[in-house]
Amino acid sequence: MLVSRVLEVGEAGPVAALQAFLAGLVQATGTSRMLAPVVVEDGVVNAEVIADGGRMTRVNPLLPLMHADAVAALRSLREGAPAEAMVAVLRPCEVRAAVELAKQGKLDLSNTVLVGIDCLSTYELGYWDRGKELHRGSPDWLVEEALQLAQAGRMQVEGTRLSCQLCDRPAADYRAADLLIGLVGVQNQERLLVLADEAKDARWDLQGLTDRPATERETADREVALWCLADRRKEASAACLHSLGLAGSHPAAIMRHMSKCTLCGDCIDVCPRWSEELRAALTRGREAFIQALLDAVRRLAGCAECGMCQVECSEGIPLSAIQRAFGLQVQNRMHSAASRDSRDPLPWTT
């Protein structure tokens, strides 16, 4: 059973409340390291390791800017020190990427506590640059705007990355993450929700790290808002795929978009899952590379939809939309839902 608790925000605001909670969680889990989004400079957020509580004031999982998929860093850390326990604070798409890598045997999560933050969507850097001129460079305006949208369960198209517009899973699944931070459908300027199963709730004494149990209404409001937001995003996703000629993932439409590909390989380098599989195909030319994508289409059912491939594409190819179109086809035909539990079998092996 999932236990839902309330973390009161207080006068310092939601970011400070979350920082304090995460610091307490690190101690409660007996770890000394945490991988979390850190503001490294104006408008730049990177996943960095926080050791022994250092730099905690710069941790900001609520700033809706994403410059890289944190799972690439998590994978490197786990390979370097597999026995050392750590906490990883991730967006829903990053949780999905971690689960998929674990299912493929490429990431050991046994000593990692995954904290999934409800997604506030992420914005194009151009939107941030325009807005900060009006708000004197402070990132608080973007956090507040995103939190207001999340509270109302609404989506914004202007300024958001295409991958976020297409994503209909704005929260990590409770079977994938060890602990969830609820923001959608929550009065998040006043309180945040902390959700975990009964065993983990007791193991980490989440009662002591939060202020009170959540009411049934508070828990249900989040669930309803998530459902409504997912429904709106499904409609927006279908409209977007139609406008790009990708509805039904017809190969001719995909080839038309991919004809602009220069085989630079940047999209593969930033993907936490695909580098090994597709890098070799680049050396054999565009047709071989596209054919390799088509041959591996079933694996797109497990794409985390972080959209980093499209961010790095200098030719503006709608890679997020292409994988979304393919992924939906595979998931519908195989009746699979990707990245919900690392113990689930891979869909292309069942």
Most distant pair of Cα atoms in the chain: their distance: 59
Query: Is 86 in a helix, a strand, or coil?
Result: strand
Number of helices (H) and strands (E), helices first, in the chain? 15, 8
**What local confidence, expressed as pLDDT, does residue 341 receive?**
63
Write b or e for each residue in 5-36: b if 16 or more Cβ atoms lie within 10 A of its Cβ, otherwise e.
Answer: bbbebeeebbbebbbebbbbbbebbebebbbb
Query: Is 202 in a helix, a strand, or coil?
Result: helix
**What local confidence, expressed as pLDDT, does residue 136 receive?**
65
- Local mean pLDDT, 10-residue blocks, the chain (350 residues): 94 94 94 89 82 82 88 88 90 91 87 94 83 70 90 85 88 93 96 97 96 96 94 89 81 81 83 69 76 63 80 87 79 64 57
Kindly list the domain boundaries of the chain, sorted by start residue.
2-234, 238-349
Query: Is 48 in a helix, a strand, or coil?
Result: strand
Instruction: Please give the backbone phi and psi of residue 338, each rounded to the nearest 5 degrees, phi first.
Output: -70, 150
Task: Quote the pTM value.
Answer: 0.88
